[in-house]
Amino acid sequence: MTPFTFATAQYDSGDWDSAPFVPANVIDAVARYTDIEVTPTGVVVPLASRDLFRYPLVYLTGHLPVRFSAAERGILRTYLDRGGMLFVDDHNHDVDGQFHKTATDELGRLAGAPLRELPNSDPLYSAFFAFPEGPPTTSHELNGWGDNLVHKHLLAVLRRDRIRILYSNKDYSSEWSFHPDNKRFLSVDTTRFAVNLVVYALTR
Amino acid sequence: MPSRADVAVWTERGLRLLAYGALAAALLQSLTARSPRPRTITVSSSALPALLAGAARSGDTLVVVTDSALGPVYRDWLAAARAAGRVVGWSGTSIPAIAVAVEPLADPAGGDRVLVAAPNGATVALADSAGAIDSAAAGAGGASFAAPALAGSASATVGRQTARAVRTDSLLLRHVVVFGRASWETKFVIAALEERGWAVDARIALRPEAAVVQGSTARLDTARVAAVVALDEAAVPEGAAIAAFVRQGGGLVLGPAAAASATFAPLRAGAPGERQSAPVFEVGAAEPRRALALVPIVHLAVGALPLERRGSVVAIAAQRVGAGRVLQLGYEDTWRWRMSGPEGAVLAHRAWWTSLVGSVAYRASVPLAPRAPANDAPRARMVAALGPPDPSVPSPARDSYGDRPARPWWWLFAVAAGALVAEWARRRRRGTA
């Protein structure tokens, strides 16, 4: 059986590699809390490559404007049609930032419909850990970085009641991008929501 | 010399005598008449409809020479005549022994399986009421067709002979229960079955005391569940319940990781062999499963049947256990077919998983309203109705029943009546009537 491999999307525009510690922390959390077989290291997969189909969950982040090439758009559309799940996180935590504007525009065109607020009762928030209030708040939201807002919802595109595209303004890319050695200093493990994300992708 | 009056009286007496004589002859004829000697009448099947009414009134032996089996109406007519004491035979050396049956597929998308028994090597043409569907060469066990939706009856034709049948029952599709670890294989097997329309319950293990549960997996019973898919070791805690379910009549699809467990050893069709990597990397359209890793099924159990091979090794095998069926799969990570395959891979993967589950699913059938009997096995039904054929009967030279002479009874009545009328007329002329 193929173990779960955390994949980070590499795209032509923007800074796709802005959160280098996220894969290690997510992999550690999945291995720590579950019995899911997981590859010890993550992979980087170009969006325009058919290799993307080997990783049915892919993580995409950045600060800069996002514009997909025709090849990237074609592969992504097929990927989503076949049951792949794309998790996009705005590393800016800024609803008026360039990443947010361009990424939501691109994703809306890709899906053929605009992203909508995901209800906080969605199974994503109870897939493993319980988050009854919806997406967990990040320290960057509470510190007033970016747009100085606490975003109460994530955005999503659903097909057959399953999330195909999940979009976050919460800046989990900063929240989960600490050096793994520093996890011991956290009073609450902030990567627990990443476990929900992986479990959701593997089970729904 | 007699007078004219004497001549008239003698004439009248003569006429009366003639009438009495004719009546006496008719009476004698009716008392002594015998049935004509029965003959053997041989007709071709094409001439039978026009001649059958005449033949039914005669006492002749009737032999039908036919190059294709008779339809139900004429077959039953002849069978009724035979049951009534008539001697009826038939000859049809060129009629192929074919039969057709229609059964619903265990597939939420619907469709029927048409099974045709036909001579080995014969070309079978399948059609329904709307037109031609498919054709195939019959093997040793006949031919089998999967038809998405039949319009009316299914007909299978071999040479000039056609057999027709309609579906007589429908299936109640019940739930499928999937047990597996949290993995891409578990996710996409569930997705494939749900997208096809199956109601899927699942228990997806995350760690020993935690699982994602969809629907209800607590009670495995054929009253609610048609089949279980045990993908890996996550199904082991349910092993006893799954075994009881299968023996009760339920179906089981056993993945390679589950088959490796000793818990499922009594159920599996064979032992898992040494894992083989895929011979090709890219999932192709023609043989997509060549790109999948395989755990060959070795040391097949007594009664187990290999259903698919890759090269010289068995990739899929099945066997009966109790009243149920077990299908063992050697392929790993079939989700790669869906994600990485060519265009149409999602549909193909979905249909393949449905065929696996459908082949073992418990079949709870509901009879449909009775319909007019179809001619589903023409030659066999001819033998059942009329007895075995007589190959020694020659072809008919002429199809006719018109060569028998008319019986001469009517003119005796005419003579008697004419004589009496003539006598009465003469007596009136004489004024004595």
Per the CB < 8 Å rule, is A82 touching B210?
no
B56 pLDDT above the threshold of 80: no
Percent of chain B residues topping a pLDDT of 90: 48
Q: Which residue of A has its CA nearest to B349?
A: A82
Q: What is the pLDDT of residue B387?
A: 85
Residues of B in contact with A81 (CB under 8 A): 346
pLDDT band at B405 (very low <50, low <70, confident <90, very high): very low
CB B361 within 8 A of CB B197: no
pLDDT mean over B79-108 = 84
Q: Looking at per-residue confidence, does A48 or B77 come out higher?
A: A48
Rounded CA-CA distance B162/B188 in Å is 43
Q: Looking at per-residue confidence, does A129 or B161 come out higher?
A: A129
Assigned token pair, B249: 């009549």
B4 pLDDT above the threshold of 60: yes
Q: Per CB distance under 8 Å, which residues of A are interface residues toward B?
A: 1-2, 4, 33-37, 50, 53-54, 56, 79, 81-84, 127-128, 160, 199, 201-204
Q: Which residues touch A74 (CB under 8 Å, ≥6 apart)?
A: none
pLDDT mean over B371-388 = 82
Q: Best residue in B206, B294, B350 to probe A by mutation, most A CBs within 10 Å?
A: B206
Rounded CA-CA distance B423/B64 in Å is 54
B403 pLDDT above the threshold of 50: no
Rounded CA-CA distance A171/A141 in Å is 8
ipTM of this complex: 0.94
- What does the pLDDT look like over B261-299, one tens digit per residue? 999 999 999 999 999 998 777 877 778 999 999 999 999
Q: What is the pLDDT of residue B408?
A: 60
Q: Best residue in B187, B196, B232, B335 to probe A by mutation, most A CBs within 10 Å?
A: B187
Q: What is the pLDDT of residue B89?
A: 80
Using the Cβ of B76 and the Cβ atoms of chain A, whether some distance falls under 8 Å is answered with no
B61 pLDDT above the threshold of 90: no
* Mean pLDDT value across chain B: 87
Q: Looking at per-residue confidence, does B32 or A133 come out higher?
A: A133
Q: What is the 3-state secondary structure (H, E, C) of B33-57?
A: CCCCCCCEEEEECCCHHHHHHHHHH
Predicted structure pTM score: 0.80
Residues of A in contact with B340 (CB under 8 A): 50, 53-54
Q: Give residue for tokens 């319980």.
A: A130
For B397-419, give the DSSP string.
Answer: S---STTSPPPTTHHHHHHHHHH
Using the Cβ of B200 and the Cβ atoms of chain A, whether some distance falls under 8 Å is answered with no
pLDDT band at B303 (very low <50, low <70, confident <90, very high): very high
Q: Looking at per-residue confidence, does B224 or B430 come out higher?
A: B224
Q: What is the pLDDT of residue B284?
A: 79
Residues of A in contact with B345 (CB under 8 A): 82
Q: What is the pLDDT of residue B206?
A: 95
Min mean pLDDT across A14-23, A95-104, A185-194 is at A185-194
Residues of B in contact with A35 (CB under 8 A): 181, 205-208
Q: Give residue for tokens 């899927």.
A: B200
Rounded CA-CA distance B371/B60 in Å is 35
For chain A, the maximum distance between any two Cα atoms, rounded to a whole number of angstroms, is 44
Per the CB < 8 Å rule, is B181 touching A37?
yes
A90 pLDDT above the threshold of 50: yes
Per the CB < 8 Å rule, is A56 touching B332?
no
Q: Which residues pair with B415 in a beta bridge?
A: none
Q: Which residue of B has its CA nearest to A127?
A: B212
* Beta-carbon contacts below 8 Å between A and B: 75
For B108-165, give the DSSP string.
Answer: TT--EEEEEE--TT-EEEEEETTEEEEEEE-BTTBEEEEES---S-EEEEETTEEEEE
B1 pLDDT above the threshold of 80: no
pLDDT mean over B136-165 = 88
pLDDT band at A187 (very low <50, low <70, confident <90, very high): low
For residue B71, give how far its alpha carbon lies from the nearest alpha carbon of chain A (Å): 51
Partner residue facing A203 (CB), from B207, B212, B333: B212
Residues of A in contact with B183 (CB under 8 A): 1-2, 4, 36-37, 202
State the Cα torsion B69-B74-B76-B82 to the nearest 10°.
-100
Per the CB < 8 Å rule, is B182 touching A202?
yes
B402 pLDDT above the threshold of 60: no
Rounded CA-CA distance B368/A168 in Å is 54
pLDDT band at B413 (very low <50, low <70, confident <90, very high): confident
* Mean pLDDT value across chain A: 92
Q: What is the pLDDT of residue B394?
A: 60
Nearest C-alpha neighbor of A24 from the set A41, A7, A12: A41
> Alpha carbon of B177 to those of B250, B340, B357: distances in Å?
11, 26, 10
B382 sits in which H/E element:
helix B378-386
Residue length of chain B: 433
Q: What is the pLDDT of residue A158?
A: 95
Q: What is the pLDDT of residue B276?
A: 94
